[in-house]
Structure 1
């Protein structure tokens, strides 16, 4: 999820890593192997947990940790990592102060951790629970070289287009189901006096999400997987085609509120404000399910009433895409209380744990055993249902699968190339060549 895994974590400033220095002082010295002792009490033990979550996300995850404490007696300590999870964890391991459990928001980083030899295989209890409750694709994303290391606990549905119903009513348009229909609805909005899209071009990750949804629908899941692994070059005609499709949106000043210049000065929270704030500047904003939470918490909108969404539409006759992000729980080899950490991951694999956060809001679970009634509103409930029903057709955020140098670094790699493309979308083929050059450097192939 990245950034918003993906998500509202993009809104908050990175929390002070200094808080995480308390990890060692609060952890107990249990160096037991990964085998579970499910059912035993853990009174007197402490589990240290590190993750990117800040603000309300962190507060709500602490409710899950409190439920684990009530169930097992173990105390928990949460330390925010900031966005650079890899650097944080590496420094803790090097300093002999590794947390027990880490919530990892990028598939690429999870693979890096496994290849560095930092992770313990998850317990048989967790494997059994995952087999029974997760679509195979989620387990695949947590598996490296045949070993299951990462349980996906929190997901984001990144194929939702949010809109102001009042703007649609004024323009006399309905929710579109195709890319052509989306552009047509956008022009109707513009004709009624309101540009179509607020685009958060200042945050390059949002542009990768635009590309991924268009590409998945237009090129299909197989090519998407190949491009994510860089076994398909970014100069492939399918990439040029998707960029050409995006260019039709990016170059149209009626569709992009304020034009490219304004979009490149608009961060993600501001893009939501431009649609749902007190002075609307656009009728729609594309991003994940977390847009609804921001519209509600920051601007008093009620999801499903005055903040609605429709699925990202099918492109050129393809299937409607379902792109997701997520956070995977892993247990570190050098954890001081790995056995208790493994018990926490087993708990996170249960519907019980997910339902705690579902009730609090701002959360989707990939766990198909979670009671949809646990979600607090129909909009979130329907989004969760859509994610579950997508099953193995879900594709994880492509940039989150890439090395960070390509898919996760501000002002570099894919983020920077797509920002330049938003600024000048006149040459999709040249942009594809730039993307390939950056990918070669990052993937080293």
Structure 2
């Protein structure tokens, strides 16, 4: 979820508004054929709608430009930071795009459950089964029917730092969570300032970076089975295992001695844009920050991202050394039209050819197994691709994206903001849990 390599701007995942909530809660009829690529199969224009904006949207359009010209298809892309609300309104009003790029599997399932989406064409399903893992295919499946293939992907849980500063302080990359605590203390002793910086601000989606912290700790401390149960509310937010993750994250984010380096007190986390932490790591104002692989696109132009460069990153470790458990996210592509041109575009977007085209332009990765790691120009993105393709990696999709929108993009995001602002952990956990639909 922009992208020249240095000007990337991630489109925030807007809160699901009234229209989105209505969509999930009412028996809305199936949408008619949408857009210029509608169901008559005669148009060579296909409309795509998504959250991707600014320079990233330009690169997205560049990624398919040659293919579209060769196939005599005009692809019209529109990006919006109010995607969820607007898509719900357009679908209910009978004017959806031909294709939507969904940033959340839970939202994707909402639309599939209301018969707004068309089942994926045979070629798309073939590509998905060949080039994506079963977990990824499942994210595009609803009630036994495959509706859409994944698009891009990212790995979360990277801890970004300055290799030169680590050498200056005489510290090394930690192998366990306990080592990370010791590293934090050592850096603070050496600098006399907080070691960490964090930013939760993202417009209407403010708070989502905090959910990433919690998800990483739940997976590492409680394990994948508990994580899966938590996603399905078989284990509630008020469960002690989830509170343990909050307490561990709070040991960093709620401790004035630990944050918010370069920005202010603890509460400044909520007013700091999530991408603004990158320049502070690059200039040495902040020693450590937690963010996904896409942060590589937020560093100032000229920043050398390499193991011996200006900035590098290590994966948040587990309780024991050598554990390979990571969280991540990505997009699922769904169609409101079954026109011939739309089906051709869907097939291309699910292919290794498109994945290599887009990744070669910089700033993003994909879990498509046909992707060549060297297609990524950025070394940290090359490492991300290797993690995504490693069969020994335990991968779990971002929990807030899998939960119903009222929780994942609602009470969970809001709860993280309230938590940083001083609301007690127990109260926050109870508030978040209230977002789960009854029954």
* TM-score after normalising by structure 1: 0.85
Distance 1:272 1:31, change over 3 A: same
CA-CA distance at 1:339 after TM superposition: 2.4
Task: Pick which of 222-231 and 286-295 moved more.
Answer: 222-231
Match of 1:301 among 294, 303, 306: 303
Match of 1:156, SS state, is strand
1:326 partnered with 2:360:
no
Give the counterpart of 2:278 among 257, 265, 272. Answer: 272
- Identify the residue that residue 153 of structure 1 maps to in structure 2: 151
* CA drift at 1:90: 2.6
Query: What is the CA-CA distance between 1:29 and the residue it aligns to?
Result: 4.8
Shift of the 11–275 alpha-carbon distance from structure 1 to 2, 3 Å rule, reads farther
Q: Is the 8 A contact 1:228 1:402 kept in 2?
A: yes
Q: How far 1:13 sits from its partner (Å)? A: 11
Instruction: Give the Å deviation of 1:421.
Output: 2.2
Residue 141 (structure 1) aligns with: 139
When residues 231 and 28 of structure 1 are mapped into structure 2, their CA distance, relative to the original with a 3 A threshold, is same
Q: Which residue of 2 aligns with 1:124?
A: 122
Q: Measure, in 1, the Cα distance between the counterparts of 2:174 and 2:322.
A: 15
Q: Which segments of 5 or more consecutive residues in structure 2 lack a partner in the other structure?
A: 2-7, 16-32
Change (3 A) 1:11 1:102: closer
Task: Identify the structure with the greater helix proportion.
Answer: 1
Shift of 1:388: 1.7
Q: What SS does the corresponding residue of 1:129 show, helix, strand or coil?
A: helix
Q: Does 1:216 align with 2:194?
A: no
CA contact (8 A) 1:276 1:299 kept: no
Report the Cα offset of residue 316 of structure 1.
Answer: 6.3
Confirm whether residue 75 of structure 1 aligns to residue 81 of structure 2: no
Contact 2:324–2:393 (8 Å) recurs in 1: no
Q: Post-superposition shift, 1:10?
A: 4.0
Q: Per the alignment, in what secondary structure is the counterpart of residue 192 of structure 1?
A: helix
Q: Which secondary structure does the structure 2 equivalent of 1:50 belong to?
A: strand
Q: Size of the alignment, in residue pairs?
A: 406
Answer whether contact 2:159 2:289 (CA < 8 A) is retained. Answer: yes
Q: Aligned runs of 1:17-416 on 2, under 5 Å?
A: 27-32=36-41, 45-80=44-79, 82-193=80-191, 194-202=193-201, 203-257=206-260, 258-277=264-283, 280-295=284-299, 298-304=300-306, 305-315=309-319, 319-332=323-336, 335=337, 338-389=339-390, 393-409=394-410, 413-416=411-414
Contact in 2 for aligned 1:105/1:328 (Cα 8 Å): yes
1:146-181: per-residue Cα shift (whole Å, max 9, x none)? 111121110111121111222212221111121111
Structure 2 vs 1, CA of residues 26 and 93 (structure 1 numbering), >3 Å: closer, same or farther? closer
SS in 2 for 1:201: coil
The alpha carbon displacement at 1:406 in A equals 2.0
Instruction: Go from structure 1 to structure 2 and tell me whether the alpha carbon gap of 1:50 and 1:163 turns closer, same or farther (over 3 Å shift).
Output: same
Q: In 2, are the aligned partners of 1:220 and 1:318 still within 8 Å (CA)?
A: no
Distance 1:316 1:392, change over 3 A: closer
Say what the alpha-carbon RMSD is for the aligned residues: 2.5
| Unaligned 5+ runs, structure 1 | 2-6, 15-23, 33-41
